[in-house]
Structure 1
Amino acid sequence: MLKPQATATRELVNLDGLYAFKVDVDRTGHQDEWFKKPLETTLEMGVPASYNDVFADKSIRDHVGYVWYQREVRVPRGWAGERIHIRLDSATHEGMVYVNDVLVAQHVGGYMPFSADITDHVSPGRTFRLTIAVNNELTQATIPPGTVTVTEDGRRKQGYMHDFYNYAGLHRSVWLFSTPGVAIEDVTVVTGVEGTAGTVEYSAVVAGGSGSETVTVTLSDADGVEVAAGDGSNGTLTVPNAILWRPGAAYLYRLTIAVKNDDGTLLDEYSLPVGIRTVEVRGNKFLINAEPFYFTGFGMHEDHITIGKGHNAAQMVNDFELLKWVGANSFRTSHYPYSEEVLEYADRHGIVVINETAAVGLNAGFASFFGEGPKSTYSEEFVNEDTAANHRQAISELIARDKNHPSVVIWSIANEPNSSEDGARPYFAPLAELARKLDPTRPVGFVNVMMDPFDKDTITDLFDVIMLNRYYGWYVNTGDLQSAEKALEAELKGWEAKHGKPIIMTEYGADTMPGLHSLYEQPWSEEFQSSFLDMFHRVHDRVESVVGEHVWNFADFQTSNGIMRVDGNKKGAFTRDRRPKSAAFALRERWTQLGSKKQG
Structure 2
Amino acid sequence: MKISNAKSSQTQPRPEHPTPHWERSEWLNLNGSWQFEIDHGKSGKEREYFKKDHHLTGEITVPFCPESKLSGVEYKDFMAAVWYRRGFTVPEAWTGGRVLLHFGAVDYETEVWINGVSVGTHRGGYSSFSFDITEQLAAGENIVTVLAEDDVRSGRQPRGKQSERFYSHGCDYTRTTGIWQTVWLEFVPGTYLSNMKLVADPDNACARLELEIKGRSAGTVVTAAAFFEGKAVGEVSAAVAGTYAFLTLPLSEVHLWEVGNGRLYNLELTLRHDGGTEDKVRAYFGLRTITIDGMAVRINGKSVFQRLVLDQGFYPDGIYTAPSDEDLRKDIELSLDMGFNGARLHEKMFEPRFLYWADRMGYLVWGEHANWGLDITTPAGLSSFLPEWLEGMRRDFNHPALIGWCPFNETWDRNGTKQDNEILRIVYEVSKQMDPTRPVIDTSGNFHVVTDIFDIHDYDQNPETFKARYEPMKTDGEVFVTFSDRQKYEGQPYFISEYGGIWWNPDQKDEKSWGYGDRPKSEEEFIERYRGLTDTLLDHPKMFGFCYTQLYDVEQEVNGLYTYDRKAKFDPAVIRQINSRKAAIED
TM-score (normalizing by structure 1) = 0.83
Q: Secondary structure at the match of 2:174?
A: coil
| Superposition map of 1:480-519 within 5 A | 480-487=462-469, 494-495=479-480, 498-508=489-499, 509-515=501-507
Moved more, 92-101 or 286-295: 92-101
Verify: 1:289 aligned to 2:271, yes or no: no
State which of 80, 84, 99 in structure 2 corresponds to 1:84: 99
- Equivalent residue number for residue 8 of structure 2: none
**What SS class does the counterpart of residue 331 from structure 1 fall into?**
strand
The residue type equivalent to 2:55 in the other structure is: L
Question: 1:83-130 CA distances to partner (integer Å, 9 max, x unpaired)?
Answer: 011111001223222212122232221111111000011135x11111
Q: Determine if the alignment matches structure 1 residue 574 to structure 2 residue 570.
A: no
C-alpha displacement of 1:406? 0.6
Q: Is 1:541 equivalent to 2:565 in the alignment?
A: no
Counterpart of 1:589 (choices 572, 577, 580) is 577
Q: CA deviation at 1:432?
A: 0.8
CA 1:587–1:159 in 2, change beyond 3 Å: closer, same or farther? closer
State the alpha-carbon separation in 1 of the partners of residues 567 and 347 from structure 2. 23
User: Cα deviations across residues 318-362 of structure 1 (Å, max 9, x unaligned)?
Assistant: 212212211221011101110000001111111111111122356
1:423-502 correspondence to structure 2 within 5 Å? 424-449=420-445, 459=449, 462-473=450-461, 480-487=462-469, 494-495=479-480, 498-502=489-493
**Residue 79 of structure 1 aligns to a residue in which SS?**
coil
Distance 1:80 1:55, change over 3 A: closer
SS at 2:193 equivalent? strand
Cα 1:584–1:5, aligned 2, differ >3 Å: closer, same or farther?
Answer: closer
Distance 2:574 2:156 in 1: 42
* 1:426-449 C-alpha deviation (Å, 9 max, x unpaired): 221111100000111111113433
Match of 1:30 among 11, 32, 45: 45
Q: What TM-score, normalized to structure 2?
A: 0.84
Structure-2 separation of matches of 1:191 and 1:308: 35
The 8 Å contact of residues 193 and 214 in structure 2, kept in 1 or not, is answered as: yes
Q: Residues 309-324 of structure 1 correspond to what in structure 2 (within 5 A)?
A: 309-311=320-322, 312-324=324-336
| Whole-angstrom distance in 2 between the partners of 1:323 and 1:59 | 29
Which of 155, 171, 181 aligns to 1:140? It is: 155
The amino acid across from 1:296 in the alignment is: R
Rounded Cα–Cα distance in structure 2 between residues aligned with 1:318 and 1:133: 33
Q: Within 5 Å, give how 1:71-110 maps onto structure 2.
A: 71-110=86-125
- CA shift for structure 1 position 160: 11
Q: Residue in 2 aligned with 1:203? A: 210
- Tell me, which stretches of 5 or more residues in structure 2 are unaligned? 1-16, 240-244, 482-487, 510-516
1:255 to 267, 285, 296: 267
Deviation at 1:498, TM superposition (A): 4.0
Q: Which residue does the alignment assign to 1:228?
A: 235
Matches within 5 A, 1:330-369: 330-361=342-373
Among 223, 246, 255, the residue aligned to 1:216: 223
SS in 2 for 1:322: helix
What displacement does 1:490 show? 6.3
User: Match of 1:554, as an amino acid?
Assistant: L
Q: 1:535 to 1:421 in 2, by over 3 A?
A: farther
- Decide which moves more: 499-508 or 204-213: 499-508
What amino acid does structure 1 have at the position aligned with 2:180?
A: H
Aligned residues: 543
SS at match of 1:499: coil
Per the alignment, residue 367 of structure 1 pairs with none
| SS of residue in 2 equivalent to 1:444 | coil
Q: 2:385 — aligned with what? A: 391
- In the superposition, relative to structure 1, how do residues 46 and 524 fare at CA in structure 2: closer, same or farther (>3 Å)? farther
8 Å CA contact 2:42–2:80 kept in 1: the answer is yes
Partner of 1:153: none
SS at match of 1:202: strand
Distance, in Å, in 2 between the alignment partners of 1:465 and 1:495 is 14
Tell me if the contact between 2:265 and 2:284 (Cα under 8 Å) persists in the aligned partners: yes
The answer (yes or no) to whether the contact 2:260–2:363 under 8 Å persists in 1 is: yes
Q: Could you tell me how far apart the structure 2 residues matched to 1:161 and 1:99 are?
A: 41
1:445 match: secondary structure? coil
User: Aligned residue for 1:410?
Assistant: 404
Contact kept, 8 Å, 1:147 with 1:160, in 2: the verdict is no
CA deviations 1:543-592 (Å, max 9, x no partner) are 3221112211111113xxxxxxxxx2111110000111138554212223
Q: Which moved more, 1:575-584 or 1:335-344?
A: 575-584
Match of 2:409, as an amino acid? N
After TM superposition, the structure 1 stretch with the greater mean CA deviation from structure 2, 315-324 or 335-344, is 315-324
1:563 is aligned to: none
Matched to 2:394, the amino acid is A
Name the Cα RMSD after superposition.
3.3
Q: Between Structure 1 and Structure 2, which shows a larger proportion of helix residues?
A: 1
Relative distance call for 1:18 and 1:361 in structure 2 (3 A) is same
| Residue 138 of structure 2 corresponds to residue 123 of structure 1 | yes
> How much has 1:507 moved relative to structure 2?
1.5
Corresponding residue of 1:53: 68
Q: Secondary structure at the match of 1:430?
A: helix
Tell me, yes or no, if the aligned pair for 2:287 and 2:400 is still in contact at 8 Å. yes
In the alignment, is the contact (CA less than 8 A) between 2:206 and 2:250 conserved in 1?
yes
**C-alpha contact 1:361 1:417 (8 A) present in aligned 2:** no
Shift of 1:4: 6.3
Q: What secondary structure sits across from 1:315 in the alignment? A: helix
Q: 1:537 to 1:177 in 2, by over 3 A?
A: same
Q: Does 1:178 align with 2:187?
A: yes
- 1:182-224 CA-to-partner distances (Å, cap 9, x unmatched) read 1111111101132xx5220111112212411222222222214
Q: Matched residues, percent identical? A: 22
CA contact (8 A) 1:143 1:387 kept: no
Is the CA contact 1:5–1:12 (under 8 Å) kept in the aligned structure 2?
no
Task: Report if the CA contact (8 A) 1:530-1:583 is conserved.
Answer: no
SS of structure 1 residue aligned to 2:106 = coil
**Aligned amino acid, residue 39 of structure 1:** H
Letter in 2 for 1:163: D
Output the CA distance in 1 between the equivalents of 2:280 and 2:146: 30
| Deviation digits for residues 141-199 of structure 1 (CA, Å, limit 9, x no counterpart) | 212489999xxxxxx969999733322232110001111001111111101132xx522
**Residue 127 to residue 504, structure 1, CA distance change in 2 (3 Å):** farther
Helix, strand or coil for the counterpart of 1:534?
helix
Residue ranges of structure 1 left out of the alignment (5+ in a row): 150-155, 363-376, 474-479, 559-567
Structure 2 vs 1, CA of residues 8 and 203 (structure 1 numbering), >3 Å: closer, same or farther?
closer
Give the counterpart letter for 1:178 in structure 2: F
State the alpha-carbon separation in 2 of the partners of residues 147 and 13 from structure 1: 31
Which amino acid in the other structure matches residue 545 of structure 1? K
Task: Please tell me whether the aligned partners of residues 38 and 79 of structure 2 are also in contact (alpha carbons under 8 angstroms).
Answer: no
